[in-house]
Chain A
Amino acid sequence: MTEPIIEIKQLTYDYPDRRVLNEVTFDVEQGQFLAIVGENGSGKSTLIKCMLGLLKPTGSIRLFGQDQAAFSDWWRISYVSQKAASFNSGFPVTVAEVVEMGLYAKKGLFRRVTKQDRQKVKTALETVGMWDRRDSKVGDLSGGQQQRVFIARALVNDPDLMILDEPTVGVDQRYVKEFYEILEELRRDKKRTFVLVTHDIHFVSKLVTDVIHLVDGRLGCNCGIKEYWELDEQTIRSLYPVPGRVLVHRGEVVQ
């Protein structure tokens, strides 16, 4: 059996005033499309940041079979954040320049962008349908187009693992569907592994294979998408601890 792409054991992370992640343990296998869901403040984004090495938690994280501290092949992992919402639109940078940045992790000092690299940029931009806009300033594009550019940047290195943190926040609703269609296309060969933080699991349920539901920093549930939709009412209630909220699960009001 091949080693898991991500192995997380007893992961705990504290902010000065509270515990955000509490002894979280799970694995992500190759080819999985894992959705991380949970209410605001349940620790989803913190979990992602720990995986990416942006935060230093206690516990253990292994990436591609290596301890995170010793892991150096960061180019195998790409990350798409909520950039469309927070992007500085005045920055003087073209679409092609942004996508090229995705190649920098693999390149050492003094190594310039080669002809081959430009071809990779072209392929990535064609995948997201933005090649025609390669010379446009990123700030001049719409939110949906900008996010497509950031996906192209994430793709350009042909990563084995894509981590997406609510990538459609701030993106016009009409582009959200288009965005997930691109992900579907990328998932076609089932070789690439995806971890997606989302509030909209309905929207992506076709793509998702597994779900992690965080409740106050704990693992509320870790199961396949099919099982997730068939959870009994008591479990669902335990996943949404805040009382008085109307909760719809598979179109039915359960709380």
Chain B
Amino acid sequence: MIEAFMTLKFLQYALVAAVLIGFTAPLIGSFVVVRRMSLIADALSHVTLAGIALSLLISGMVASLADLNPLYLGIVTSVIAALTIDWLRAKYKHFQELAIPIIMATGMGLGAIFISLANGFSMDLVSFLFGTVSAVTLTDVYTILIVTGVVILFVIAFYKELLFLSFDEEQARVSGIRLRLVHILFMIVVALVIAISMRVVGILLVSSLITLPVAAALRFAKSFKATIFYAIVFGEVATITGLILAYQFDLAPGGMIVMLAVAELILVMVIERFRIGGKLHEKKHRTSA
């Protein structure tokens, strides 16, 4: 199997993509989770489906665009949806969560129409739903690499502002930080991460890669930096191992990666339980002594 990863180009592309996604998704996910925006990630991924389906439809209809990478339209729709969610949240100040079902329904509705126009599900589309080991192209890798660079640069530039905004929005505003700008850029970056992650993890599972590693890290991390660090470690372990296992057993990588992330979360919870149990036992012991 190691030999396969050493020699087969498509496996190498998939592995590089997995490593990059395993890093960026939990990195940006740490902010998404603490800002209580996990469901927005889900809505965005569903809208991305519409972009992918539209791209595949166009490729089928226009011969000159037959090779159009669906990732591009996926990115565009994801970014538009992110900005629309933000606009809707401002419109429904007292019912901000409404933005999510509105955008999700629009995305799924459009997706369903484009899929029917393209005469149903193609293999290409299915691979976008649950991820793929074999269909990651060199162009995909370059796109994912560029977006990863943008995400890292964004986090380095706005780390302070993002942390402050996430922890205490009112105080951050008082301190003169340009929150609107930071927030809009953040939404765009989240949309980009979702769009690039779907190649390996799949549209339906991408939000789990953003949230599950962070959920596990949150169980024990005391600082925000530690949360990001552990979330990335969990993310990398899940994506790399998941991809290898998916190839080995010929399964959808999205499913494997997400189930490994779930396993990590369960493991952390079990260890936590034992540690708490141990501490209680120790305390009881000391009290009785």
Cβ-defined contact, A101 with B168, below 8 A: yes
Q: Check B204 for interface membership: any CB of A closer than 8 A.
A: no
Q: A102–B177 Cα gap in the complex (Å)?
A: 11
* Given known contacts A74-B176, A90-B218, A110-B156, A97 and B170 CB-to-CB distance under 8 angstroms: no
Pairwise interchain contact B164-A92, C-beta atoms closer than 8 A: no
B171 in complex: contacting residue of A72, A81, A90, CB < 8 Å: A81
B174 touches A54 (CB 8 A): yes
- A83: B residues at CB distance < 8 A: 168
Contact A72 B176 (CB under 8 A): yes
- A92/B222 in contact, CB under 8 A: yes
Task: List CB contacts (< 8 Å) of B154-202 with chain A.
Answer: 156-158, 160-161, 163-164, 166-168, 170-177
Per the bound structure, the CA–CA distance linking A79 and B156 in Å amounts to 26
Q: In chain B between 218 and 250, which residues have their CB closer than 8 angstroms to a CB of chain A?
A: 218, 221-227
Q: How far is the CA of A137 from the CA of B217 in the complex (A)?
A: 14
B176 touches A105 (CB 8 A): yes
Q: Are A79 and B34 in contact (CB under 8 A)?
A: no
Q: How far is the CA of A170 from the CA of B226 in the complex (A)?
A: 29
Cβ–Cβ contact B224 & A92, under 8 A: yes
Beyond the given A90-B218, A91-B166, A97-B163, please list 9 additional residue pairs across the A-B interface where CB-CB is below 8 A. A79-B171, A81-B170, A81-B171, A92-B223, A94-B223, A97-B225, A104-B164, A109-B158, A136-B222
What are 22 pairs between A and B in contact, CB < 8 Å? Answer: A74-B175, A75-B176, A81-B170, A90-B218, A91-B34, A91-B167, A92-B34, A92-B217, A92-B218, A94-B222, A94-B224, A97-B223, A97-B224, A101-B160, A101-B175, A102-B175, A104-B161, A105-B176, A109-B157, A111-B160, A136-B222, A153-B171
Query: How far is A224 from B96 in the complex, measured between Cα atoms in Å?
Result: 45
Q: Determine the main DSSP class of B at the interface with A.
A: helix
CA distance A30 to B183 in the complex (A): 36
Q: Which chain A residue lies CB-closest to B225?
A: A97
**Of all chain A residues, which has the CB nearest B218?**
A92
Residues of A within 8 A of B226 (CB): 92
* Binary per-residue interface labels of chain A (72-105) against chain B in the complex, 1 for a CB within 8 Å, 0 otherwise: 1011010101010000001111100110011011
Quick check: B160 and A107 within 8 Å, CB to CB? yes
A53 at interface (Cβ–Cβ under 8 A)?
yes
Question: Closest chain A residue to B153 by CB distance?
Answer: A110
Whether A52 sits at the interface, judged by CB under 8 Å, is yes
A135 interface residue (CB < 8 Å to B): yes
Q: Which residues from chain B sit less than 8 Å from chain A, CB to CB?
A: 34, 156-158, 160-161, 163-164, 166-168, 170-177, 217-218, 221-227
- What sequence of 0s and 1s flags, for each residue 46-83 of chain A, a beta carbon within 8 Å of any chain B beta carbon? 00000011100000000000000000101101010101
Where the two chains meet, the residues of A that have a C-beta atom closer than 8 Å to any C-beta of B are 52-54, 72, 74-75, 77, 79, 81, 83, 90-94, 97-98, 101-102, 104-105, 107, 109-111, 135-137, 140, 153
Query: Are A75's CB and B223's CB within 8 A?
Result: no
Tell me if A135 and B222 are in contact (CB < 8 A): yes
Min CB distance A134 to B, Å, is 10
**Inter-chain contact A105/B177, CB cutoff 8 Å:** yes
Closest to B175 in A: A105
Nearest chain B residue, comparing its CB with the CB of A49: B170
Identify which of B157, B161, B168, B177 gathers the most chain A CB atoms within 10 Å of its CB: B168
Which residues of the partner chain B approach A77 to less than 8 Å between Cβ atoms? 174
Contacts of B223 in A (CB 8 A): 92-94, 97, 135, 137
Contact of B222 among A53, A72, A111, A137 (CB under 8 A): A137
CB distance from A132 to the nearest CB of B (A): 15
* A110 contacts across to B, CB distance below 8 A: 156-157
The CB with the most chain A CB atoms within 10 A, among B160, B177, B225, B226, is that of B160
Q: In the complex, what distance in Å separates the CA atom of A111 from the CA atom of B177?
A: 14
Bound Cα distance from A98 to B160, whole angstroms: 11
CB pair A54–B173 under 8 Å, yes or no, is: yes
Residue of A at shortest CB range from B217? A92
In Å, the complex CA distance between A206 and B218 comes to: 44
Q: Could you say which residues of chain A place their CB within 8 Å of the CB of B167?
A: 91, 93, 98, 101
Cross-interface CB contact of A104 among B157, B175, B224, cutoff 8 Å: B175
Bound CA–CA A65/B126 (angstroms): 64
What residues on B are CB-neighbors of A136 within 8 Å?
222
Contact of A101 among B34, B171, B173, B217 (CB under 8 A): B171
Docked CA distance A135–B157 (Å): 24
**Minimum CB–CB distance for A98 against chain B, Å:** 7
The smallest C-beta distance from B31 to any residue of chain A, in angstroms, reads 12
Which B residues touch A81, using CB under 8 A?
170-171
Q: Once the chains are docked, how many angstroms separate the CA of A133 from the CA of B223?
A: 13
Q: Is the CB of A93 within 8 A of B224?
A: yes
Nearest-Cβ distance from residue A5 to partner chain B, whole angstroms: 16
